[in-house]
Structure 1
Amino acid sequence: MKLLSIRVYSGRNIYSHWPVVRADVDLGKYVDIPTCDIENFNERLLSMLPGLKKHKCSKGYINGFYERLERGTYLAHVMEHMALEIQNILGYDLKFGKTRYLRDDTVYFMVFSYINEIVGLESAKLAFDIIDSLLNNKEIDINERLFYIQTKANENELGPSTSAIVEEAQKRKIPTMRIGENSIVQLGYGKYHKKIQATMTDQTSCMSVDIACDKELTNYILRAHGLPAPEGKVVTTLDEAIVEAEKLGLPVVVKPYNGNQGKGVSLNLSSKLEIGRAFKIAKQYSDRILIEKFVDGKHYRIAVVGNEVIAASERIAAHVIGNGINTIKELIDIENRNPLRGEGHQKPLTKIKIDDVMLLILDKVKMNLTSIPKDGEIVYLRENDNLSTGGIAIDVTDDVHPNNIKLALRAAQIIGLDVAGIDITTKDISKSIVENDGVIIEVNACPGIRMHHYPSKGQPRNVAKAIVDLLFPPGAKHSIPVISVTGTNGKTTTTRMIAKILRSNNMTVGMTSTGGIYINDDLMVQGDTTGPRSAEVVLMDKNIDVAILETARGGIVNKGLGYDLADVGVITNIGDDHIGIDGINTLEDMADVKSLIVESVKPDGYSVINGDDIYAERIAKRARGNIIYFSQNPDNKLITQHKYNGKKAVYLKENIIYIFNGEKELPVINIENIPATFGGALEHNIENSLAAVAVSYGIGIDTTIISKGLSEFHTDATNNLGRFNVFEVADFKVIIDYGHNIGGYSRVLSGLKKMKINKLIGVIGVPGDRTDISILKVGELSGKSFDQVYIKEDKDLRDRKPGEVAELLRKGCMLGKLTDQQITIELDEKEALIKAMENAEAGDTIIVFYEDYQPLYDAIKDFKAKLTSDIINEIPAVVGKV
């Protein structure tokens, strides 16, 4: 048994509309051996992962999977459940999974859901390794592996503050997107999006953050504005610290001047020895140390969002309560077993860590880790009260004195923070700190909100919601329109047509396509950019009003979607291309795969479907939102029924494209006025125009703008690079087109038959990953359609041998009745075109179905330049004649 590959789908995908991991395994000799026939397999497996007994499986009830094991099931299916169970052990409640046959008799794939990507990936690996250990009697330490996974997961997990904000955004249907591996998350798309990192927003001033991080400067500014703050000074040496402490008067506080989360903070220091030990601890976090006058009282955190106090908590330092039996070390261990405590920010509370700060505090009260506190005695283990060092929080939002609310808001305003955590020390928060000798200790620029969401006592306060409402006030836009286009043929041209129309509407368009990523007419990234990563690049751009995403099969199958939900999803057609690849073996399979685009449409959005396609009804059953059918036939049965039901449709009637808006017909444009159709000769561009009209109308573009955009859309290098680009070369034409499958060839050749041509010459080739039958079909069609053929091959052979594809095309051409004299094999694409041009005659048309556009363009330019040079050289010189 071999683990072949593991891949992650972080967005909507062909297996589910939530994130999944896919693992491919080759079962080898175990393909037909059920688990019940493998000696002691079930018993040993269940002893390792007893939770598997509770899995329901397809039975739908607890113990259903256990029954399958007892009766006998197969290893790929077992691995799927194991990956889920491992995640369950680590605290992730997950149930979705499925296993299917893939290829070669013994290869299967399984998919299962995940929440943390690292945990999902590592769970698949561990599940395989456990099976391998059982089959081959190898040792495996599951607990060690689980600890390793948990450690990696904690590093990868979003913090509690970020997670809470993301959850609130998703409740409001605001799409979220993690950027990189850290905690920066984008909320929304395009020009309306905002970014957060924990509770810091992209509206937060960088200077304000710098001020807040400089505790001495913050203290100075607060005091300058008349707000109560403790006296203090930054020092760099212990001698300076002791001198400053004596000036302030003991007791004092020692802390890193730019620290966070209470790290390195020591309070209530009353001797040089204590100051020295505290100074050494603080030095671990900063070279500059802040010495402050200690203020006695309780510690509070007030959360300010915008111009409002959202929550307030009393923070209590990490502590244990004695029972007269256990030592302090034992009491810490007992408390750390509290299910609410976890590592770092993993859970509502953090486990208590033993370190030098704790030992210093215990020493101050003449205790150590082996001391046994009396029954009911409270032993404080920290003087700072941060949750990150094991503290707890009690909600006191309703108890805060009105004047303290004003002071907290004033402090945030003075420092310039939109989100702030104001730390106050006072004896009683219900009384004004001005009258109660309280002070503002710190102003935090990126305050944690875990304490407010999960108080140990009192009412939870939803600070995350307040932050989302600050970024996106109710009614504010958070996302631009997203249009996703797929199909076997025509998706690039359709995408570009839509972009042209929307630019005519004065919109800034972000577009992905096979040609690259564009912002309006500016090429930002060159290449085939039809996958999810390219989509994310566009959606991250603050400049764009609308995103138009060409979404190819490869990206859908191998990576899923790069967006959440589209406003419009388009399927141009389903054709015979890429069959037999990635487990897609039939046209029905292909229709189902591409249907993901219309499944992922907003409830009030539109699914645009080609009513002339034989799979239209199959696709429509899976579509979401409202359906707009388009057709070249006004009497198409789907169009007729749709109109009868008062639904929107787009169709061609008497050479005019009409929109039916649910009540009446609206004429848009005569196809003869769309340059890309060549007067109606190119039916595939009529089809593409219909799709573009449907999309544009679906997002509210006026018909006059739609007409203007299409009337200015040419099949040239500016508007539609590589799609039926026509070049006049001497007395013959060269056309460059991206037809790369039987459908693409058929559509182009059908249009050419309607044009006046002397001889039609083809420079043909097909990508090597197509099936032999598909390649032969292209060859046969070429043999029937061309007077002369030059066969070339792509540079990327896609695991074929040199000349293999060319030979299949040659055989196909001969099936189409071309002779050897009419077929030339020249594997180099550029050289094949040059030979075709050298042998062309007046009135001929050459069409080259290309892999690489630029060399062909250069070849045409050079050929024309050479012709001009030759003509000039042939003109006789006339000298000295009058």
Structure 2
Amino acid sequence: MTKKNDIKFLRVSYLRGPNIWTYRPVIEAWIDIGELEDYPSNKLPGFNGRLTALLPGLIEHHCGVGHRGGFLERLESGTWAGHILEHIVLELQNLAGMKTGFGKTRSTGEHAVYKMAFRTRDETVGRAALEAGHRLLMAAINDTPFDLPATVAHLTELVDRYCLGPSTAHIVDAATERGIPSIRLTEGNLVQLGHGAAQRRIWTAETDRTSAIGEGIASDKDLTKTLLASCGVPVPEGAIARSPEDAWDEAQDIGLPVAVKPIDGNHGRGVSLNLMTEAEVKAAYAIAAAEGDSKSVLVERFITGNEHRLLVVGREVVAAARGESLWVTGDGKQTVVQLCETQINIDPRRGESEEFPLGLVKPQESEEIQLDLKRQGLTPDSVPQAGQKVLIQLNGNVADDVTDLVHPEVAHAAALAARVVGLDIAGIDLVCEDISRPLQEQRGAIIEVNSSPGLLAHIKPASGTPRNVGKAIVAHLFAPEEDGRIPVVGVTGTKGGSLIARLIGCLVHITGKHVGVANGEGLYLDARAVSNRDSTGVDAGQRLLINRTVQTAVFESNARSILAEGLPYDRCTVGVVTDMDGIEDVHEFHIRDQDAMRNVIRSQVDVILPQGAAVLNAADEAVAALAELSDGRVIFYAEDERNAILAAHRASGERVVFAREGRIVLAEGEQETPLLELAKMKPSTVKHPENVLAAVAAAWALGVPSDLICGGLRAFDATPKKANH
């Protein structure tokens, strides 16, 4: 087969907000498939077999057919390179651990030129998957080699580096299920849940309710023990030691065996257990002192039993996991390190990244393991005899779910420990023989309280039932009736959008709320100009949504900004559409007719919340026809109350806004509320009365009282304000 020429990328854009394709972020690629326009998949000898051999997971792609294997049916019947590339990119992202399923490919009307969009959770990963998918496609077409394992390994590394960690993603997914929006604030795991004044913030298992004092107490093990003991929480007796000799003296006073740990450590690092001799205690002192920030260590009575980690969120234990000792069995040939690789690390649940519930065991890198080995007369390089059992870790392998077994008194003690320390989310480490019995019955004790606890052992336990701890954390941050949203207003069109947005902001601000406005003239906070730069983009708009003082946000968008970036918010309370003009401004986006323009402008109506409202220009029939797309109610506005669309809407008992004899009127069915005369407003504001009507309708939808609407209309000055620098 003659090799086919490469396809060309004409444009690749990341649409961060709701867009013409979907509500979620996508990468949009414009591609010219060239001569492949004449070679759909069923006209490329051997192509389908080579592609499915490389990516057998494509059988799971339903495509538009709607069932498993649907995409393969399309391949057999014949589909084009752009559509195939879409599915390849989605599958590569799935193989890299970033599950996505949405993709669409559409012809632009130009020969061999297509627009292709696919869902991605991160722009960097998505672009890399697109580039890799392109190479894979051409290799399958031209029957040339392609290194899939190396490609997937590279993409997996990018997912680990750039995407949210699995614990944070779990919380964000739980928020999304409740309709709570989220914004990632850094390249790490700092995420804002909700908008403006209604927002909360998480940093994996820390929240903006997590006390810095509580974290400080939790990192001081001796202070933690003192506070817990004073409140009746069972803890092991112990003492501070400031030298190896001191540690041995304290160990003898407490009674052997003992545990030694850093006084200011966390998450079990530097902890040595079940120490019986002077040499072991002194060696453990060195390990603990090196791990902590001071030379002081804590010597405690060793508690027999299994280690458990209880996750406390708010005032309740929401998950519990049990740890077990780790052993290997010698074969007379392999070293301890090799035995760990072949008997422990082979477990598919173990790995180095966050997505694995269990970590890899490396005796050559762990001083704690080496101390346990030394007590058995071994080193990491020793070769145990055949059949010899070797203890690798006494505890710490906490990954088996036991939530349903926790005794109520144990749960009460754990929740009390978190409250005493002052943490809203805490990992409570305790040791006991049986978690289903009270601690006092078995000399069990709480040995550590951790801030920012790991969640993965509960989300993906090695055994037992996974726990939806993200749901519990979201419920802790937001009351059942809260969705983290503030009223958001979107204004789209070419007729006075900037003025309408500012006027809506003024009418809401007069109610006493802090209001942010982002429009083509700039960025405004409480009618004060912060910037005079065009702020119709996503970046400028999100400056309002991350501002903790903003209680209502108003955004102007247009066809160009929607096509280039998407909307700056996921959903809105009110969506205003004035017109569908301006096709000439978006001609380069292959928007050539009114149907294509409608598909762009409808994005504003598609995102309206069910409890919200669409504010539509009844004088523009194309705009009025968008009413059927609104999940919320509809308010029509027009200067002429005799407008047929407006009159019919009113006759059905719905809300309309119009002007009668120079006065603004609100009407809902037969009920009318006359407002201000247009002549009493500043001349610059009433040059285009329909813009005032649109803003009034939006304010009405937001519940602004009619008398305050009148006051705001009198005070509003349409002259753009200059930002103070």
Q: Shorter-chain TM-score: which interval?
A: 0.7 to 0.9
Aligned to 1:645: 652
Alignment of 1:367-382 (within 5 A): 381-382=392-393
Equivalent residue in structure 2 for 1:695, among 698, 717, 720: 698
Q: Per-residue deviation at 1:460?
A: 4.9
Contact kept? 2:349, 2:462, Cα under 8 Å: no
Partner amino acid, structure 2, of 1:614:
E
Alignment of 1:91-102 (within 5 A): 91-102=97-108
Partner amino acid, structure 2, of 1:563:
Y
Aligned to 1:860: none
**Given the superposition, is the C-alpha separation of residues 476 and 592 from structure 1 closer, same or farther in structure 2, using an over 3 Å criterion?**
closer
Q: Per-residue deviation at 1:245?
A: 5.3
Partner amino acid, structure 1, of 2:644:
K
Q: Per-residue deviation at 1:459?
A: 5.1
Q: Per-residue deviation at 1:689?
A: 0.6
Partner amino acid, structure 1, of 2:693:
L
Alignment of 1:293-372 (within 5 A): 293=300, 294-318=302-326, 329=338, 333=342, 340-341=349-350, 343-350=352-359, 352=361, 355-357=364-366, 358=369, 360-362=371-373, 364-365=375-376
Aligned to 1:604: 611
Is 1:217 equivalent to 2:223 in the alignment? Answer: yes
Aligned to 2:191: 185
Report how many residues are paired.
710
Partner amino acid, structure 2, of 1:709:
G
Alignment of 1:783-794 (within 5 A): none
Secondary structure of the equivalent of 2:186?
Answer: coil
1:167-197 deviation per Cα after TM superposition (whole angstroms, max 9, x unaligned):
3322322222221111112122221211111
1:258-311 deviation per Cα after TM superposition (whole angstroms, max 9, x unaligned):
444434433223346555665666577545463422332222223333333334
Distance 1:619 1:236 in 2: 75
Equivalent residue in structure 1 for 2:21, among 15, 20, 39: 15
Aligned to 2:630: 623
Is 1:571 equivalent to 2:577 in the alignment? Answer: yes
Distance 2:179 2:463 in 1: 31
1:423-482 deviation per Cα after TM superposition (whole angstroms, max 9, x unaligned):
222333444434543332111122233334444555555443333222222334632111
**Given the superposition, is the C-alpha separation of residues 184 and 4 from structure 1 closer, same or farther in structure 2, using an over 3 Å criterion?**
same
Aligned to 1:815: none
Distance 1:156 1:589 in 2: 35
Distance 1:363 1:39 in 2: 64
Distance 1:667 1:621 in 2: 28
Alignment of 1:97-246 (within 5 A): 97-102=103-108, 105-115=111-121, 117-134=123-140, 139-223=145-229, 225=231, 227-231=233-237
Contact kept? 1:234, 1:288, Cα under 8 Å: no
Computed over aligned residues only, the root mean square deviation of the Cα atoms, in angstroms, reads 3.5
**Given the superposition, is the C-alpha separation of residues 8 and 284 from structure 1 closer, same or farther in structure 2, using an over 3 Å criterion?**
farther
Q: Larger deviation: 360-369 or 485-494?
A: 360-369
With normalisation by structure 1, the TM-score equals: 0.73
Partner amino acid, structure 1, of 2:654:
K
Distance 1:26 1:235 in 2: 72
Partner amino acid, structure 2, of 1:344:
S
Secondary structure of the equivalent of 1:422?
Answer: strand
Distance 2:323 2:521 in 1: 57
Aligned to 1:444: 450
**Given the superposition, is the C-alpha separation of residues 525 and 232 from structure 1 closer, same or farther in structure 2, using an over 3 Å criterion?**
farther
Contact kept? 2:328, 2:390, Cα under 8 Å: yes
Aligned to 1:672: 679
Q: Which one has the largest radius of gyration?
A: 1
Partner amino acid, structure 2, of 1:498:
I
Identity of aligned residues (%): 34
Aligned to 2:51: 45
Aligned to 1:507: 513
Distance 1:277 1:552 in 2: 69
Secondary structure of the equivalent of 1:578?
Answer: helix
Partner amino acid, structure 2, of 1:393:
D
**Given the superposition, is the C-alpha separation of residues 446 and 64 from structure 1 closer, same or farther in structure 2, using an over 3 Å criterion?**
closer
Contact kept? 2:518, 2:556, Cα under 8 Å: yes
Alignment of 1:436-475 (within 5 A): 436-457=442-463, 460-475=466-481
**Given the superposition, is the C-alpha separation of residues 495 and 278 from structure 1 closer, same or farther in structure 2, using an over 3 Å criterion?**
same
Aligned to 2:555: 549
Partner amino acid, structure 2, of 1:705:
L
**Given the superposition, is the C-alpha separation of residues 644 and 278 from structure 1 closer, same or farther in structure 2, using an over 3 Å criterion?**
same
With normalisation by structure 2, the TM-score equals: 0.88
1:202-253 deviation per Cα after TM superposition (whole angstroms, max 9, x unaligned):
1121121122123343234434555443455667876776676566555443
1:109-159 deviation per Cα after TM superposition (whole angstroms, max 9, x unaligned):
311123455543322121012234456776542211211211221233433
Partner amino acid, structure 2, of 1:645:
S
Secondary structure of the equivalent of 2:430?
Answer: strand
**Given the superposition, is the C-alpha separation of residues 128 and 282 from structure 1 closer, same or farther in structure 2, using an over 3 Å criterion?**
farther
Distance 2:47 2:290 in 1: 52
Partner amino acid, structure 1, of 2:406:
D
Aligned to 1:713: 716
Aligned to 1:874: none
Equivalent residue in structure 1 for 2:540, among 516, 534, 537: 534
Instruction: Mark the runs of 5 or more structure 1 residues left unpaired by the alignment.
Output: 722-852, 855-882
Q: Larger deviation: 223-232 or 180-189?
A: 223-232
Q: Per-residue deviation at 1:525?
A: 3.8
Contact kept? 2:10, 2:29, Cα under 8 Å: yes
Contact kept? 1:453, 1:460, Cα under 8 Å: yes
Equivalent residue in structure 2 for 1:55, among 48, 55, 61: 61
Secondary structure of the equivalent of 2:640?
Answer: coil
Q: Per-residue deviation at 1:365?
A: 4.2
Is 1:614 equivalent to 2:625 in the alignment? Answer: no
Q: Per-residue deviation at 1:580?
A: 0.6
**Given the superposition, is the C-alpha separation of residues 318 and 644 from structure 1 closer, same or farther in structure 2, using an over 3 Å criterion?**
farther
**Given the superposition, is the C-alpha separation of residues 347 and 666 from structure 1 closer, same or farther in structure 2, using an over 3 Å criterion?**
farther
**Given the superposition, is the C-alpha separation of residues 97 and 312 from structure 1 closer, same or farther in structure 2, using an over 3 Å criterion?**
closer
Contact kept? 1:21, 1:121, Cα under 8 Å: yes
**Given the superposition, is the C-alpha separation of residues 253 and 396 from structure 1 closer, same or farther in structure 2, using an over 3 Å criterion?**
same
Contact kept? 1:327, 1:373, Cα under 8 Å: no
Aligned to 1:734: none
1:555-600 deviation per Cα after TM superposition (whole angstroms, max 9, x unaligned):
3212222222111111121213513122222343223212111100
Secondary structure of the equivalent of 2:169?
Answer: helix
Contact kept? 2:241, 2:247, Cα under 8 Å: yes
Is 1:562 equivalent to 2:551 in the alignment? Answer: no
Aligned to 2:3: none
Q: Larger deviation: 635-644 or 690-699?
A: 635-644
Distance 2:203 2:400 in 1: 23
Distance 1:120 1:280 in 2: 47
